Amino acid sequence: MPIHNWMSGLKGTRKLVELCLPGSHDAGVYRDQNAGVNPGASARCQYSNIWQQAMHGSRVFDIRCFLRTKGVFKKKKTPTMGHFFKEGKDGYLGEYGGTLFSALEDAATFLTVYPTEFLIFRIGHTKCTGNVAEALQQFRKRTDPITHKMPYASVIHRGATGNLADLQVWQLRGKLLLVFDQEFNSPNFSTDDGYYPYCKYPSTAQTGLTFCGKYSGAVGTSLALQSKNKGNWSSEGSAKITNAACEEHQKHGGSDHLLWVYWQETGGDVLKNTTATQGMHARLDKFLSDIRDPKNNLPQPNVIGHDFVNATTCRKIVKMNRDVDTQF
């Protein structure tokens, strides 16, 4: 079965919290020739743009935005996705990827062509919130030069209240669900416009989405200590932290938030590390097998965010959904 429309096999009554979704870590850090960006090996996390990632099966996109300045005399600042180790408003010590507007266009085009699917943008680690609001407004009000209609206005999911983890598939089909970190707490980001907050467990939003998960906190905060203890700076350490996150989530009880698994290794050449013989891609089968084994008593992740998503990795994750596992 084609992976690009795998959600067509999902029952419409399935809740978001019941699903296991392939996710893209640092989804915007890819080579974009049109924008003139080519991230280096230590920053680039994806093979291709949002359209291609969605075609490969990814449905949740981890996005960080910064202001990229272009031009010498007439300087233009554009909200652009990227990854920076010093996350100031304009970025510092890192790399840019594609523009936020290109990501929104890719998502809207994909959902128009494949209305059985839905996509989620989780936008955080962003300082230029006002510029992001302007880009979103521009996206929503963009007019087709031929029909004079606003084709993207209906793509963004709007009108939800309460816990978004309870949204059912039929309510999400053909929609882009936008959730924003607490940095976006301003009148520019109204739930009426479909701009929902996301929180990190145990904090919750009255209307929004809550995630839990571990990254490097289990092994310390300094880079030196992470490296020494093989935290997310090794595939072995990353796998251990992921298992710890699953075990902790199991203790939370209930089904009011999503478990986000950070299936990624930090540091060095990201592509080389990810695709190595003992890298994160190679370890994915064992992790998913452990989740499926009932004797381990581990919860099913809701999002498995990983680097360099492709049809093979997404297909394996998609099979965790009982509605579609036999189709792959």
CATH of the domain at 99: 3.20.20.190
3-state percent breakdown (helix, strand, coil) of the chain, nearest 5: 35, 20, 45
Q: Does residue 99 lie within any of the structural domains?
A: yes
pTM, rounded to two decimals: 0.93
Q: Does residue 229 lie within any of the structural domains?
A: no
Sign of CA pseudo-dihedral 84, 43, 286, 231: negative
Q: Does residue 316 lie within any of the structural domains?
A: yes
Q: Does residue 9 lie within any of the structural domains?
A: yes
Percent of the chain with pLDDT over 90: 69
Q: What is the pLDDT of residues 185-197, one digit of tens each?
A: 999 999 999 999 9
Distance (Å, rounded) from C-alpha 15 to C-alpha 64? 27
70: containing domain: 3-214+257-265+302-327
Nearest C-alpha neighbor of 119 from the set 204, 209, 57:
57
Phi, psi dihedrals of residue 120, rounded to the nearest 5°: -125, 125
- Give Cα separations from 306 to 46, 93, 283 (angstroms): 9, 22, 12
Q: Does residue 198 lie within any of the structural domains?
A: yes
Three-state SS at 134:
helix
Q: Does residue 109 lie within any of the structural domains?
A: yes
Q: Up-side HSE of residue 327: CA atoms within 13 Å toward CB?
A: 18
Structurally, how many domains does the chain consist of? 1
Nearest C-alpha neighbor of 262 from the set 282, 285, 235, 289:
235
Q: What is the pLDDT of residues 50-59, one digit of tens each?
A: 999 999 999 9
Q: Does residue 118 lie within any of the structural domains?
A: yes
Q: What is the pLDDT of residues 157-181, one digit of tens each?
A: 999 999 999 999 999 999 999 999 9
Q: Does residue 98 lie within any of the structural domains?
A: yes
Distance (Å, rounded) from C-alpha 160 to C-alpha 205? 13
Q: Up-side HSE of residue 1: CA atoms within 13 Å toward CB?
A: 18
- Tens digit of pLDDT at every position of the chain (328 positions): 689 999 999 999 999 999 999 999 999 999 877 767 788 888 899 999 999 999 999 999 999 999 988 766 667 889 999 988 766 666 667 889 999 999 999 999 999 999 999 999 999 999 899 999 999 999 999 887 888 788 888 999 999 999 999 999 999 999 999 999 989 999 999 999 999 999 999 988 889 999 999 877 443 334 444 444 456 788 999 999 999 999 999 999 888 999 999 999 988 899 999 999 999 999 999 999 999 999 999 999 999 999 999 999 999 999 999 988 777 7
**Token pair recorded at residue 107:** 């998502």
